[in-house]
Amino acid sequence: MSTAVVVGTQWGDEGKGKITDFLAEKAEAVARYQGGNNAGHTIVFGGVKYKLHMIPSGIFYQDKICVLGNGMVIHPEALITELDYLVGYGVDLSNLRISDRAHLIMPYHLRLDRLEETSKGSSKIGTTGKGIGPAYMDKAARVGIRVGDLLNPSRFAEKLKRNLEEKNRILERLYEVEPFGFEEIYDTYMKAAERIKPYIMDTSVVLNDAIDQGKRVLFEGAQGVMLDIDQGTYPFVTSSNPVAGGVCIGSGVGPTKINQVVGVAKAYTTRVGDGPFPTELHNEIGDQIREIGREYGTTTGRPRRVGWFDSVVVRHARRVSGITGLSLNSLDVLTGLDTVKICVAYKYKGELMENYPADLDILADCEPVYEEFPGWHEDITQVKTLHDLPLATQHYVERITQLTGIPLTIFSVGPGRDQTIQVR
Ligand code: 2SA
Ligand code: MG
């Protein structure tokens, strides 16, 4: 591996953080390329559970460069909270690099995120409320304030003033809420600037230099392909591009420099937030998987919706991200079920449909077609090779690789670093 991308193949929370952490051992740099603190990773090692939102899990290795790429949206105070959290664990931050081109999440973005959701009523997206959508809206509208602006106080002040004029007008006229004052935001952001200044730079140069020197670089996606603004279940998506192609845009590394794409999937499916979810379980099997798998959002604590493995979704992920290897996680969570199911295709108006439709009305009329398999009851959490798995589990895994067309490279039987097993 010289460069590899780790992407989510479902609706996020597939265990990308754990897999990045696992693969990071052999990498010299780890980079995020989209999203912000809407992401949440839980990593367990040395008996401690760590939760990160923005900083790549590679930070726990003392010698790896960790990059927050230009495609990210960054809330400085949330970032500082995360830096303090890491410092509290004795983590050295000197390898952190933050793109000067990344956009800032501002207080009005958080407020607007919540107001927009409330005004949508029952058609809300179910966002994390972190201001992600409004921050990307400003980026696209070319009025965004960037991390690099923190280094130039007068330019920052000028951009903030211009934005406040517009945002306060919306807040007062449209939503009839209190406007934001300039001073408080300015002071808070300038104080934050002092703290993060040492890490701000052109991270495209950092990453390309590393690649040109033959260093191994790992790109860590947040969320998943079904939350991608182009390839996901639009409009029930996030506002960035978690697909592998997002790496080029969000990190300033060209497509000719990407070698491998690892798709991460759970052995079942989860989704937080609203929007379609064809294989969702509304029964006690779903509840059991949620409890055993501790399926609650890392960022918001929301219970995740749970369903069977959907190979239509993961095939879609394979195609749009050019996935070369599959990491199948949380197999242990299915232990104890008498039968397990995999969705092989959808049925729409009597016809089999193999590809995920763009049209959510068509999707609403699709019925999952399942194959059913015997489950397993053996404890698999200590398994060290694929062949140690019970035969029923092996069959289940094999069928998933056949249906998705992706060779298995990793599987996991628990949250720990030692419960992640490389197959090839
Ligand atoms: P947003 O806040 O604008 O990005 O929300 C838009 C949609 O994207 C979903 N989304 C996520 N889905 C799963 N995991 C995410 N991160 C956290 C985690 C979630 C949490 O890792 O656990 O803690 O609740 C994530 N981030 C965004 C979101 O649910 C909306 O459907
Ligand atoms: Mg997560």
Active site annotation includes 202: no
For residue 39, give the ligand 1 atom closest to its CA. Answer: 16
| DSSP, res 350 | T
Q: Tell me what pLDDT residue 366 has.
A: 96
Instruction: List the residue whose alpha carbon is closest to atom 5 of ligand 1.
Output: 127
In the reported structure, the alpha carbon of residue 390 is separated from the centroid of ligand 1 by a whole-number distance in angstroms of 34
Pocket test for ligand 1, best of 11, 19, 37, 38 (most atoms within 8 A of CB): 38
- pLDDT of 271-298, one tens digit each? 998 999 999 999 999 999 999 999 998 7
If you write DSSP's letter for every residue of 137-198 in order, what string do you get?
HHHHTT---BGGGGG-HHHHHHHHHHHHHHHHHIIIIIS--PPPPHHHHHHHHHHHHHHHGG
Q: Tell me what pLDDT residue 128 has.
A: 94
Ligand located closest to 37 CA: 1
Residue labelled with tokens 């052109």:
202
Q: Tell me what pLDDT residue 1 has.
A: 56
**Rounded-to-integer distance, Cα 317 and Cα 226, Å:** 8
In the reported structure, the alpha carbon of residue 211 is separated from the centroid of ligand 1 by a whole-number distance in angstroms of 31
For residue 275, give the ligand 1 atom closest to its CA. Answer: 31
- Mean per-residue pLDDT pooled into runs of 10, the chain (424 residues): 93 92 93 96 85 90 94 98 96 96 98 96 94 98 98 98 98 95 98 98 98 96 97 97 98 97 98 94 97 89 96 98 98 98 97 95 96 98 97 98 98 93 91
Ligand located closest to 14 CA: 2
Instruction: List the residue whose alpha carbon is closest to atom 27 of ligand 1.
Output: 38
Pocket test for ligand 1, best of 73, 103, 272 (most atoms within 8 A of CB): 272
If you write DSSP's letter for every residue of 235-269 in order, what string do you get?
TSS-SS--STTHHHHHH---GGG--EEEEEEESSE
The CA distances from residue 319 to 183, 213, 304, 348, in Å, are 48, 30, 26, 21
- Range list of H helices, 29-121: 76-88, 107-120
**Rounded-to-integer distance, Cα 268 and Cα 258, Å:** 28
- pLDDT of 114-155, one tens digit each? 999 999 999 999 999 999 999 999 999 999 999 999 999 999
The alpha carbon of 104 is separated from its chain's Cα centroid by a whole number of angstroms, namely: 18
Active site annotation includes 13: yes
In the reported structure, the alpha carbon of residue 72 is separated from the centroid of ligand 2 by a whole-number distance in angstroms of 16
Q: What is the pTM of this model?
A: 0.96
In the reported structure, the alpha carbon of residue 13 is separated from the centroid of ligand 2 by a whole-number distance in angstroms of 4
Helix axes 391-404, 311-321, angle to 10 degrees: 50
Instruction: List the residue whose alpha carbon is closest to atom 21 of ligand 1.
Output: 40
Q: Tell me what pLDDT residue 380 has.
A: 98
Instruction: List the residue whose alpha carbon is closest to atom 16 of ligand 1.
Output: 39
Q: Tell me what pLDDT residue 57 has.
A: 82
ipTM: 0.94
Q: Which residues line ligand 1 (CB under 6 A)?
A: 11-13, 38-40, 125-128, 130, 132-133, 223, 227, 236, 238-239, 272-273, 297-300, 302
